Amino acid sequence: MRKKKRVLSFSAALLSLTLLLSSTPVFAAVSTYGSWPSRYQTMYVDTSSTLTVPYSSGAAKWYNATNYKVSTSLTGTVGSYNYRAFNVTETDVDWDGITEHFVYNGEIWKEIVNINTYYTSMSRYTSAIKTALVAHEVGHSLGLLDSSVVETTSIMHPYTFNSAETATVRPMNPSASDISVVNGLYPTSSSFMKKSASGQEDGYYIHPSWAVYYANENELAEAADLVVRGTVTSEAGSKFTRGDYKSYATLSAVQATQVLKGGLKDGEQIMVSQMGGTDGSVKVFVDETTHLQKDQEVVLFLRKRADNTYSPINGDDGVYLDTKIGVKNIATKRLIDLNSMI
């Protein structure tokens, strides 16, 4: 209990820092990674899915608004199509939706859209929210990346709910800017069609979309099973279920020097798993996931997985480097005052 109070006590300082930083957002159009060679596509949806209506309605948000014409078609053999959508149920991950694209020779060959029913079966996921989540994933499958967190008008906003899980933080529809980016990718004059994901190495690219946004480290700590300060003692290879590319993970051993929350003793070692890795032949790359390196000093906000590894919450959101100038988030470089946690 005492530890938990300490974790909570640093919220005020963090919140003010967050507000300061978020008061000066820089808006930019959503980024893209490539496009299909044709603007007419069919996304095949698993007939047995409980979400066939959200899949078709979510795709229609792009079909009706942009040059990208993605129809949906129900099938009992979804696995035989390169552009496919089906439900998965994963209980120990932070994503409520995920899209994979496969690149070969600089071209997109496959797009696989998954909605995680572990989350969407919760009552707070209304049919409108499920449809908007599908629209977000279809946005990935047509070539868009997640927006930055400050882009609160883009449907490519990476999070669905606020930390209290009371309100959505992602818009329900593509913005005017989203539409114009898509129309740029899929011009009606087909001679201008880009046919590429050029510059991308062959492999699977995974775009996880997070169920909950944690606005600061206090909220991350609340959600975490374990908050630990420690040293990366080794890079421990990949772990995967062959062919299930979203399961591919890279392992690192981390020795705790200080346990800030959770059932671990100082000095104990844990295995941290981060999305993305390789089975020796196929490479899997994951947005917003920077793998730990040996000898890094880190502060990690972790979720315990069923396989007894720990994963940073929401990818890089849960990873901080302990550097000479302070403890800072690996992606945003945002500094936190760890002393007020201790």
Residues in touch with Zn ion (CB under 5 A): 146, 207, 209
User: Cβ closer to Zn ion: 139 or 203?
Assistant: 139
Rounded least distance, CB 191 to Zn ion, Å:
31
Rounded least distance, CB 145 to Zn ion, Å:
8
User: Cβ closer to Zn ion: 100 or 146?
Assistant: 146
Task: Give the closest residue to 289 by CA, choosing from 319, 334, 310, 309.
Answer: 319
Task: Give the closest residue to 227 by CA, choosing from 215, 237, 238, 218.
Answer: 218
Rounded least distance, CB 82 to Zn ion, Å:
20
User: Cβ closer to Zn ion: 10 or 36?
Assistant: 36
Task: Give the closest residue to 36 by CA, choosing from 193, 245, 165, 235.
Answer: 193
Rounded least distance, CB 171 to Zn ion, Å:
13
User: Cβ closer to Zn ion: 94 or 146?
Assistant: 146
Cα-only R_g, the chain: 20
User: Cβ closer to Zn ion: 61 or 207?
Assistant: 207
User: Cβ closer to Zn ion: 149 or 321?
Assistant: 149
Rounded least distance, CB 6 to Zn ion, Å:
34
Rounded least distance, CB 140 to Zn ion, Å:
6
Between CA 321 and CA 169 the distance in angstroms is 27
User: Cβ closer to Zn ion: 151 or 217?
Assistant: 151
Residue number with the shortest CB distance to Zn ion? 209
Rounded least distance, CB 186 to Zn ion, Å:
19
Torsion of the alpha carbons at 249, 255, 257 and 263, rounded to the nearest 10: 70
Segment holding 226, helix H or strand E? strand 226-239
Across the strands, what pairs with 322?
Answer: 327
Between CA 328 and CA 326 the distance in angstroms is 6
User: Cβ closer to Zn ion: 100 or 217?
Assistant: 100
Four-residue CA torsion sign, 317, 333, 229, 337: negative
- CA distances (Å), 310 to each of 96, 251, 254, 304, 325, in order? 18, 9, 10, 5, 27
DSSP summary character for residue 32: B
Task: Give the closest residue to 300 by CA, choosing from 268, 277, 270.
Answer: 270
One-letter identity of residue 22: S
Give the β-pairing of 283-286 and 203-212.
parallel
Rounded least distance, CB 97 to Zn ion, Å:
7
- CA distances (Å), 141 to each of 49, 126, 159, 236, 279, in order? 18, 23, 17, 32, 24
Rounded least distance, CB 209 to Zn ion, Å:
3
User: Cβ closer to Zn ion: 11 or 114?
Assistant: 114
